[in-house]
């Protein structure tokens, strides 16, 4: 008895708490399975962390803002401390945002952290997504997680949009009007949709309150769920890694979650918070006091949305103002076509993984990342998409390009109209050539070694450059990637000499597959025989 | 001398002679051109018109015609008034350097006395708005809030929320209103220079112009504070987005690279 008593007394407090919790929550096995989870080290694997941390920062600062923000469109007269707006009529939403900015302690800083973090959040999501894209990390088994991530990006965009519309300032009000115009352009149901969204004619007295619940509850709630699912899947699938000696499709080489990775990640959170706070402390964002309260009869030049909506602005700015008038009804193609292209721009990148897996027909799991050059068609497609996106961003800021580079806004618009179709194609071709060039260089390096820059004169007078052979590790890394063979359709006739019926989709697949992996579309990587033959010789090329 | 004459058939001889001739004319002009202070203290109206006419003949007539009637290169100046001259010449827009979509603001090349003479001459061609006096455009005591409302209703669609400027079609633009003299803002509203519509007293009374000037002085003047930190040009989301990408995400990626490079290396045993 006394032994038992002394034992309980001796158990450290931490252990007792852990025991208590384990007995009720069963966390021991969970912790055992996950605490030693391995994470490979590479800076690009931390892009997702930037997203996660900026999302947390947004939630923390957002909660603070909700304490002071009044989501109401009741008209009040401004009587705060900012002189140039005194006596002006404005909505309570605007008034309370002014109050947050000028009277609430730390309010302006928190507001700026919230807004800057939002811009950085979406930017980091895009970059993270591009990392996943260019390294082929979206391949089986991670397709679903790719979609989760994509949904987070889209929801992030709309959470941002509903968020910056809340202060009811002249800039965001113009943005909401823009959105309403797009809704109105939908044939047949547009008017009804708009009336439904705004509770009557624009702007009405409802949209701020509606956007508010969407912004602080609905969208962040869904995002939170998706985020957790995204992270659980990262844990479940384990992290991908770049090829290297000792790294296979069946292992993960890196640091354990606890303690190393946790310490790093925890520290990184504070670094992210620090950087965003510094940015928010030195640079203004959305100075609503300078912009003024929204009034539907007013508008300013340079009325752009936040950057992540910029490509939609570009679509609408460069679209010719076409419209069709039929039986007293107007079909505003100049707005409706951009509205249709808007989701297509996003969908183009989202569905790519499925197209690729269909073309390759590859059903295996992939945990080793591709170097972008080793998947030239994918890389070229990604760069083409980014080019397309950037061209639209240029279109969205055409007025600032015009004033800052002393150009004609009309020329820029025409440039964007043409580049919308031409630039992605050019980017595709150029990127693919660059990738193939890099593949050739890799092959050259593997077979002949690194150029040392040392010139040697041979006894008979010839000058040669001395090449240093690569070491085993480098050789492995450069040749670890696998190369697909283009899909063969098989003979055109079957054993009886009758023409085989091939589904059209199969023919298309074969064509695409040839485009991906055909003769001129990848450089065959050096084989062991080639390597032996060359290295066994006398270093003669 | 022999050397020189030997080269008189040189292909570049003509160029050298031309350069010498230009230098000589220019030098002579500089030496004999009327000195600035000669006209400074003339006050009589007719005298000012006379002097203005002379200045006009040298600096303006080539585009606006010898009598201000206008040519294909420049509009007629009959009836534009002294205020238009004071604005265009006083902000350096005129005389124009080159034809183009719009004549930009540049270094002022006439002094105020000469500008007044030019204005007097042009005003004598036909009645038009006169140069406003200090009482008309001094922002003191005006209603800033009202000015802001007027600015957002009438000016912001081209000049941006706080007058940072914006683009118009075909290379034309609404210039920034930063560092613009209140008098010139008043004159611009009064006369509608270049691509700007005019806001005569019948559409925008003197008091409202004053309110607008007071608003600009408050939000885009020398003493305007920027409570949030760097203004980033006051251009809105485009410059903010650029800043977020370059300095926000750029810094974060740099930090990520730094963190990833400082890894705990497993000991090889």
CA angle A431, A410, B241 (to 5 degrees): 60
DSSP structure class, residue A223? H
Who has greater pLDDT, A340 or B140?
A: A340
A46, A83, A283, A321: best to mutate for the B interface, most B CBs within 10 A: A283
C-alpha angle with apex B164: B159 to B168, nearest 5 degrees? 40
**B152 vs A170: CB contact, 8 Å cut-off?**
yes
Asked if the model's pLDDT at residue B38 lies above 50, the reply is no
The answer as to whether B11 is a domain residue is no
Using a CB-CB cut-off of 8 Å, the residues of chain A touching B161 are 170-171, 290-292, 300, 302
Distance from CA of A336 to the nearest CA of B (A): 24
**B62 found inside a domain:** yes
Distance in Å, alpha carbon of B260 to nearest chain A alpha carbon = 5
Asked if B156's CB is within 8 angstroms of A120's CB, the reply is no
**Comparison of pLDDT for B70 and A161, the residue scoring more:** A161
Do residue B244 and residue A120 have CB atoms under 8 angstroms apart?
yes
Together in a domain, B120 and B186: no
Q: What mean pLDDT comes out for the span B17-34?
A: 86
Q: Which of B223, B239, B255 is the last residue of a domain?
A: B223
Q: State mean pLDDT over A32-59.
A: 90
Q: How confident is the model at residue A2 (pLDDT cuts 50, 70, 90)?
A: very low
Return the pLDDT at A158.
Answer: 96
Spatial distance between the Cα atoms of A535 and A192, rounded to a whole number of angstroms:
75
Q: Are residues B179 and B210 in the same domain?
A: yes
Interface check B139 vs A, CB under 8 A: no
Is residue B256 a part of any domain in this protein?
no
In a domain, B250, yes or no: no
Residue of A nearest to B263 (CA): A41
* % of chain A at pLDDT higher than 70: 97
Name the domain boundary from B75, B102, B129.
Answer: B129
Contact B129, B64 (CB under 8 A): no
The whole-angstrom separation of Cα B220 and Cα B228 is 15
Is the model's pLDDT at A312 over the cut of 90?
yes
Parallel, antiparallel, or unpaired for β A368-369 and A241-242? parallel
Task: Please tell me if residue B171 touches chain A, with a CB cutoff of 8 Å.
Answer: yes
- The yes-or-no verdict on residue A181 having pLDDT over 90 is yes
**Binary contact (A299, B236; C-beta < 8 A):** no
Query: Of B68, B101, B129, which closes a domain?
Result: B129
Query: Closest Cα partner for B214 from B202, B226, B223, B227?
Result: B223
Query: Rounded to whole angstroms, how far apart are CA atoms A343 and A320?
Result: 19
d(CA A109, CA A281): 6
My answer on whether B211 and B138 are in the same domain is: yes
Which chain A residues touch B218 with a CB distance below 8 Å? 83-84
Q: CATH number, domain at B156? A: 1.10.760.10
Mutation pick from A83, A287, A404 vs chain B, by most beta carbons of B within 10 Å, is A287
- Contact A286/A164 with Cβ under 8 angstroms? yes
Among B148, B244, B259, beta carbon nearest to A85: B148
**How near does any CA of chain A get to the CA of B230, in Å?**
4
Q: Within this chain, do residues B118 and B157 fall inside the same structural domain, yes or no?
A: no
CB A311 within 8 A of CB A389: yes
- Give the minimum alpha-carbon distance from B82 to chain A in angstroms, rounded to a whole number: 30
Domain A44-337: which CATH class?
mainly alpha
Average pLDDT over residues B225-239: 89
Region label for A411, one of left (φ > 0), alpha (ψ between -120 and 50) or beta (otherwise): alpha
Identify the pLDDT of residue A111. Answer: 96
Number of folded domains that form chain B: 2
B31 domain residue, yes or no: no
Give the one of B152, B234, B247 whose C-beta lies nearest to A298's C-beta. B152
Bridge partners of residue A283, in order along the sequence = B230
Predicted confidence (pLDDT) per residue in A509-540, tens digit: 888 888 888 888 888 888 888 888 877 765 55
Domain locations along chain A: 1-34, 44-337
Statement to judge: residues B99 and B139 lie in one domain: no
> Which residue is closest to A40 within chain B, CA to CA?
B260
Q: Is B161 on the interface with A (CB under 8 A)?
A: yes
Please tell me the distance in Å from B194's CA to the nearest CA on chain A: 17
**Residue B41 pLDDT exceeds 80:** no
Peptide bond into B269 cis (omega under 30): no
* Spacing of C-alpha A268 from chain mean position: 20
> Does A290 contact B218 at a Cβ distance shorter than 8 Å?
no
* C-alpha to C-alpha distance for B87 and B118, rounded to whole angstroms: 12
Preferred mutation among A285, A296, A306, A321 to probe B, highest tally of B CBs within 10 A:
A285
Is it the case that residue A360 has pLDDT exceeding 80?
yes
Cβ atoms of B197 and A434 closer than 8 Å: no
CB contact under 8 A, A304 and B238: yes
pLDDT digits (tens, 9 = 90+) for A491-510: 777 778 788 778 888 888 88
Cβ–Cβ pairs < 8 A, chains A and B: 210
Q: Residues A331-340: what's their mean pLDDT? A: 94
Range of the domain at B153: 132-223
Q: What is the pLDDT of residue A89?
A: 93
Q: What is the mean pLDDT of residues A135-159?
A: 95
């Amino acid at each position: 008895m006394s032994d038992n008593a002394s034992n309980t007394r001796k158990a450290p407090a931490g252990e007792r708490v852990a025991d208590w919790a384990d007995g009720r929550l069963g966390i021991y096995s969970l912790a055992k399975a996950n605490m030693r989870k391995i994470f490979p080290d590479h800076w690009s694997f931390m892009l997702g962390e930037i997203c996660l941390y900026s999302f947390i920062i947004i939630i923390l600062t957002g909660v603070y803002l909700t304490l002071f923000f009044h989501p109401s469109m009741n008209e009040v007269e401004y009587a705060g401390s900012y002189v140039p707006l005194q006596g002006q009529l404005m909505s309570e939403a605007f008034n309370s945002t002014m109050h947050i900015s000028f009277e609430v302690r730390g309010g302006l800083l928190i507001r700026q952290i919230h807004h800057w973090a939002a811009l950085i959040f979406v930017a980091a999501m895009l970059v993270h997504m591009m990392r996943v894209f260019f390294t082929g990390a979206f391949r089986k088994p991670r397709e679903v997680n790719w979609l989760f991530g994509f949904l987070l990006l889209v929801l992030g965009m709309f959470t941002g949009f509903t968020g910056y519309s809340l202060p009811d300032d002249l800039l965001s009000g113009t943005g909401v009007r823009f959105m309403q115009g797009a809704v109105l352009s939908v044939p047949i149901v547009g008017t009804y949709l708009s009336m439904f969204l705004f509770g009557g004619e624009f702007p009405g007295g409802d949209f701020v309150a509606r956007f508010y619940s969407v912004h602080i509850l609905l969208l962040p709630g869904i995002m939170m769920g998706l985020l957790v699912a995204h992270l659980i899947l990262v844990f479940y699938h384990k992290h991908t890694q770049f090829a290297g000696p000792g790294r296979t499709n069946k292992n993960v080489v890196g640091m354990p979650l606890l303690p190393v990775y946790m310490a790093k990640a925890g520290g990184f959170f504070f670094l992210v918070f620090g950087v965003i706070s510094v940015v928010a402390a030195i640079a203004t964002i959305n100075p609503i006091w300078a912009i003024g309260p929204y009034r539907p009869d007013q508008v300013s030049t340079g009325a752009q949305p936040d950057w992540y909506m910029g490509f939609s602005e570009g679509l609408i700015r460069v679209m010719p103002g076409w419209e069709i008038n039929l039986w007293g009804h107007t079909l505003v193609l100049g707005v409706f076509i951009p509205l249709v292209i808007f989701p297509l721009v996003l969908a183009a990148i989202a569905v790519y993984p499925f197209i690729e897996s269909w073309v390759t027909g590859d059903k295996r799991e992939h945990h080793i990342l591709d170097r972008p050059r080793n998947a030239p068609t994918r890389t070229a497609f990604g760069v083409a998409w980014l080019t397309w996106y950037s061209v639209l961003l240029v279109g969205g800021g055409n007025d600032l390009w015009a004033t800052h580079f002393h150009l004609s806004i009309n020329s820029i618009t025409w440039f964007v109209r043409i580049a919308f179709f031409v630039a992605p194609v050019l980017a595709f071709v150029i990127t693919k050539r660059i990738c193939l060039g890099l593949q050739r260089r890799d092959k050259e390096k593997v077979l002949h070694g690194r150029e040392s820059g040392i010139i040697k004169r041979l006894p008979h007078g010839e000058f040669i450059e001395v090449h240093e052979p690569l070491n085993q590790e480098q050789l492995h890394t450069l040749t670890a990637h696998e190369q697909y063979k283009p899909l063969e359709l098989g003979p055109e006739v079957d054993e009886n000499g009758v023409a085989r019926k091939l589904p059209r989709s199969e023919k298309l697949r074969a064509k695409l597959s040839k485009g991906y992996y055909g003769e001129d579309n990848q450089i065959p990587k050096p084989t062991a025989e080639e390597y032996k033959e060359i290295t066994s010789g006398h270093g003669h090329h | 001398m022999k050397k020189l004459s030997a080269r008189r058939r040189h292909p570049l001889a003509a160029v050298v002679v031309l350069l010498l001739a230009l230098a000589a004319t220019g030098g002579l002009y500089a030496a004999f051109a009327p000195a600035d202070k000669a006209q400074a203290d003339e006050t009589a109206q007719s005298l000012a018109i006379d002097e203005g006419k002379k200045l006009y003949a040298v600096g303006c007539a080539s585009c606006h015609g010898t009598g201000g009637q206008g040519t294909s290169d420049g509009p007629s100046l009959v009836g534009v008034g002294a205020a238009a001259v004071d604005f265009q010449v006083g902000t350096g827009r005129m005389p124009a350097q080159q034809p183009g979509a719009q004549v930009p603001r540049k270094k002022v090349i006439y002094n105020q006395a000469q500008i007044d003479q030019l204005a007097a001459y042009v005003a004598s061609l036909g009645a038009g708005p006169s140069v406003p006096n200090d009482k008309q455009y001094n922002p003191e005591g005006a209603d800033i809030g009202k000015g802001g409302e007027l600015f957002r209703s009438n000016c912001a669609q081209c000049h941006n929320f706080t007058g940072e400027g914006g683009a118009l079609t075909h290379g034309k633009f609404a210039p920034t209103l930063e560092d613009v003299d209140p008098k010139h803002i008043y004159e611009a509203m009064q006369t509608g220079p270049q691509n700007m519509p005019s806001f005569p007293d019948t559409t925008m009374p003197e008091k409202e112009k004053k309110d607008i000037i007071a608003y600009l002085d408050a939000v885009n003047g020398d003493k305007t504070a920027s409570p949030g930190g760097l203004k980033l040009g006051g251009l809105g989301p485009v410059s903010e987005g650029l800043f977020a990408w370059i300095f926000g995400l750029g810094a974060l990626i740099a930090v990520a690279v730094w963190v990833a490079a400082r890894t705990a290396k497993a000991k090889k045993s």
